[in-house]
C-alpha cells in the first residue's frame, strides 16, 4: 500500500477507501503516537488522561467516521471533546486554546459530499510534519495494549466550542465596527454555516447568507469558493458591498466586489499585506505565497516595499515557509490565507472579517482596495498522458521555455510543473494580455505533448 497521508491528511471515498475500520485504527495509532508525548505523560502522572478535540464538517459520512474516531481514541485512553460541526480552523484554534494534546478534523474540504478525510493537528493546533505522519502509519494495524476499567477515555460534548472561536475571531480585528457594510456570505452548505454569519453580525455588518442549509449531501454543491456564480448574482442583485465565499470546511476565503468581480486569494493577500505593513504587523515586511501566485502580486508587493517569498504549491509548504522565516502572512491564490498571529492554518472566516474590516477602516470599496494589484492574465493548460518525470531533463522544452521567457521579459512569466499525483504537466503562462498568454501556453503545451507523450 502507498503512503496513507496525502498533502492534507487522509482523504478518499467515504466507506470506500475511508472506512470506519480505517478511521478507528487511525485514531488508535494517533493516540499511541501523539498521546504518549511529554505533555501527555505529565497528565498521566497527575492522574489525568490525554485530551483530544474532535470536529467535523456536515457531510453525512462524518457521522459514522466521527463515531469511529471517537471510539478509537477513547478505547486508547484519550478523553475526547466532541465539538460537532465546526470549521477546520476552529478545530485547530480550539486545540491550541485549551492546550489539548492533539485534535482530529473529519472533512474533505472542497471535495464532493461522497468524499471525506481525516486531518490531525498536533499540540498547538499545528499540522503534522511528514515524519510524525509516517510514525502513525507505522503503528496502524499493529497490536496495542489497550486500557481497561477507569483508564479508558471519556467522550464529552465540547459545549462552548463555537462561542470560543467566534470570540477569538472578533478579538483579532483591528477595526471591530463593520456597521454600514452589507456582506453576502456563502457558506458552501458547509462547516461555517452556523457560526460565520454570527461572527459578521456580531461585528456589526448587515449579513445576507446563502449556502447555509447543509443536509449532509449538498456540501460544496454549486455554491462556495469553487462555484462563485450564485454569490456574484446575489451581491449584484442585492446591491451589497462585498461577497465572501468559503469552502466546505471554511479554510478558504474568496471575495466578490460590488460589481460581481472576483477578488482571489492573491488580491486578498495583497490588501492585507499592505494594511498590516502600515500597522507594523507584517513580520519582516514579507509575504509568503506559492509559485502559482499571479505575477502581479510580486510587482505590487515590490511597489510597497514588501518582500515576496515563494514556496511550492500547497498550504503546508506556505506554512513551512512562514515558520522557517518567522513571517506573519501567507497563502494561496485559491483562498487559503494564513495569518499566523491569530491562526495556525488557513482560516476563511478570519480572512473574511479582516478583509471587511479593512473596507470599514479605510472607507474604500473592495474594488478600490483590490486595485493595489494588477492581475496579469493567466492561462493554464494541463497536458495529460505524458512522462512528467522527464520534464526537467528535456533540453528542447527548456530551450522553448527560455525563448518564451525572453519574449515576455518582465511583463510575463512561464511555469511548467509536473503533477505530483497524475500523469500530467501543468503549463502556465502569464502575460500582459489574454491573447499573448494563450498563444504561448498553447505553443508550450504542444511542445510538452510532443516531447513527453507516453508511448
Task: Give yes or no: residues 252 and 354 share one domain.
Answer: yes
Residue owning grid cell 474540504: 109
- pLDDT tens digits, residue range 202-224? 999 999 999 999 999 999 999 99
281: left (phi over 0), alpha (psi -120 to 50) or beta: alpha
79 belongs to an annotated ligand binding site: no
Task: Give yes or no: residues 328 and 203 share one domain.
Answer: yes
- pLDDT tens digits, residue range 157-192? 999 999 999 999 999 998 789 999 999 999 999 999
Task: Give yes or no: residues 176 and 223 share one domain.
Answer: yes
- pLDDT tens digits, residue range 260-307? 999 999 999 999 999 999 999 999 999 999 988 999 999 999 999 999
Q: Out of 141-145, 172-176, 259-263, 360-364, pick the least confident.
A: 141-145
Residue 18 is assigned to a structural domain of this protein = yes
Q: Residue 51: give its domain's CATH number.
A: 3.40.120.10
**Would you say 285 and 372 are in contact if contact means Cβ atoms under 8 Å apart?**
no
Task: Give yes or no: residues 335 and 229 share one domain.
Answer: yes
Domain ends where: 159, 174, 205?
159
Residue 2 is assigned to a structural domain of this protein = no
Number of domains in the chain: 3
Task: Give yes or no: residues 390 and 421 share one domain.
Answer: yes
Residue 117 is assigned to a structural domain of this protein = yes
Task: Give yes or no: residues 233 and 364 share one domain.
Answer: yes
**Would you say 274 and 364 are in contact if contact means Cβ atoms under 8 Å apart?**
no
What's the pLDDT at 38?
A: 65
Task: Give yes or no: residues 80 and 152 share one domain.
Answer: yes
Report d(CA 266, CA 114) in Å as an integer. Answer: 30
Residue 393 is assigned to a structural domain of this protein = yes
Q: Residue 390: give its domain's CATH number.
A: 3.30.310.50
249 belongs to an annotated ligand binding site: yes
**Residue 313 reports pLDDT greater than 90:** no
Q: 72 pLDDT band (50/70/90 cuts)?
A: very high
Residue 3 is assigned to a structural domain of this protein = no
**Residue 46 reports pLDDT greater than 80:** no
Task: Give yes or no: residues 354 and 425 share one domain.
Answer: no
Task: Give yes or no: residues 147 and 170 share one domain.
Answer: no
Residue 385 is assigned to a structural domain of this protein = yes
Task: Give yes or no: residues 78 and 144 share one domain.
Answer: yes
109 belongs to an annotated ligand binding site: yes
76 is a catalytic site residue: no
Give the burial string for 8-19 (b: 16+ CB within 10 Å, else e).
bbbbbebeeebb
Position with higher pLDDT, 434 vs 454: 434
Domain ends where: 370, 393, 410?
370
Domain ends where: 159, 187, 203?
159
- List the domain range (segments joined by +) for residue 50: 10-159
Task: Give yes or no: residues 266 and 197 share one domain.
Answer: yes
Task: Give yes or no: residues 140 and 15 share one domain.
Answer: yes
Residue 4 is assigned to a structural domain of this protein = no
Report d(CA 406, CA 392) in Å as an integer. Answer: 19
Taking residues 433-443, report their average pLDDT.
Answer: 93
| Closest-CA residue to 389 (of 422, 418, 427, 414) | 418
Report d(CA 126, CA 120) in Å as an integer. Answer: 9
- Kindly calculate the radius of gyration of the chain based on its CA atoms and give it in whole angstroms: 23
Residue 261 is assigned to a structural domain of this protein = yes
> Which residue among 61, 76, 107, 109 is the active-site one?
109
What's the pLDDT at 1?
A: 46
**Residue 2 reports pLDDT greater than 60:** no
Amino acid at each position: 500500500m502507498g503512503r496513507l497521508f496525502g498533502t492534507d491528511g487522509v482523504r478518499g471515498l467515504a466507506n470506500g477507501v475511508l472506512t470506519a475500520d480505517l478511521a478507528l485504527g487511525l485514531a488508535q495509532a494517533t493516540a499511541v503516537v501523539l498521546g504518549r508525548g511529554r505533555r501527555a505523560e505529565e497528565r498521566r502522572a497527575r492522574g489525568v488522561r490525554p485530551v483530544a478535540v474532535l470536529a467535523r464538517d456536515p457531510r453525512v459520512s462524518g457521522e459514522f467516521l466521527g463515531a469511529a474516531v471517537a471510539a478509537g481514541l477513547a478505547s486508547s485512553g484519550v478523553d475526547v471533546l466532541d465539538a460537532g460541526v465546526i470549521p477546520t480552523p476552529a478545530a485547530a484554534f480550539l486545540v491550541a486554546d485549551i492546550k489539548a494534546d492533539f485534535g482530529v478534523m473529519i472533512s474533505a474540504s472542497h471535495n464532493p459530499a461522497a468524499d471525506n478525510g481525516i486531518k490531525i493537528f498536533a499540540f498547538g493546533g499545528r499540522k503534522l510534519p511528514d515524519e510524525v505522519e509516517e510514525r502513525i502509519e507505522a503503528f496502524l494495524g499493529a497490536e496495542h495494549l489497550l486500557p481497561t476499567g477507569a483508564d479508558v477515555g471519556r467522550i464529552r460534548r465540547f459545549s462552548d466550542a463555537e462561542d470560543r472561536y467566534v470570540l477569538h475571531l472578533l478579538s483579532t480585528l483591528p477595526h471591530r465596527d463593520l456597521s454600514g457594510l452589507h456582506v453576502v456570505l456563502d457558506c458552501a452548505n458547509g462547516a461555517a454555516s452556523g457560526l460565520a454569519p454570527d461572527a459578521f453580525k456580531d461585528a456589526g455588518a448587515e449579513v445576507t447568507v446563502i449556502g447555509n442549509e447543509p443536509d449532509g449531501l449538498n456540501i460544496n454543491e454549486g455554491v462556495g469558493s469553487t462555484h462563485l456564480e450564485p454569490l456574484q448574482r446575489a451581491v449584484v442583485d442585492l446591491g451589497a458591498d462585498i461577497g465572501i465565499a468559503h469552502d466546505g470546511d471554511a479554510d478558504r476565503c474568496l471575495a466578490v466586489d460590488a460589481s460581481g468581480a472576483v477578488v482571489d486569494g492573491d488580491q486578498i493577500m495583497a490588501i492585507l499585506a499592505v494594511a498590516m505593513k502600515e500597522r507594523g504587523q507584517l513580520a519582516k515586511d514579507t509575504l509568503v505565497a506559492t509559485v502559482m501566485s499571479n505575477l502581479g502580486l510580486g510587482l505590487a508587493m515590490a511597489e510597497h516595499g514588501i518582500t515576496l517569498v515563494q514556496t511550492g504549491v500547497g498550504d503546508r509548504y506556505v506554512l513551512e515557509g512562514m515558520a522557517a522565516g518567522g513571517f506573519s502572512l501567507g497563502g494561496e491564490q485559491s483562498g487559503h490565507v494564513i495569518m499566523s498571529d491569530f491562526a495556525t492554518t488557513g482560516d476563511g472566516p478570519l480572512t473574511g472579517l479582516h478583509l471587511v474590516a479593512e473596507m470599514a477602516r479605510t472607507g474604500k470599496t473592495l474594488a478600490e482596495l483590490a486595485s493595489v494589484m494588477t492581475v496579469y492574465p493567466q492561462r493554464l493548460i494541463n497536458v495529460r498522458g505524458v512522462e512528467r518525470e522527464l520534464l526537467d531533463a528535456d533540453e528542447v522544452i527548456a530551450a522553448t521555455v527560455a525563448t518564451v521567457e525572453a519574449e515576455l521579459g518582465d511583463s510575463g512569466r512561464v511555469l511548467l510543473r509536473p503533477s505530483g499525483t497524475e500523469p500530467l504537466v501543468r503549463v502556465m503562462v502569464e502575460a500582459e494580455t489574454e491573447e499573448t498568454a494563450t498563444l504561448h501556453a498553447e505553443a508550450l503545451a504542444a511542445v510538452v505533448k510532443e516531447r513527453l507523450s507516453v508511448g
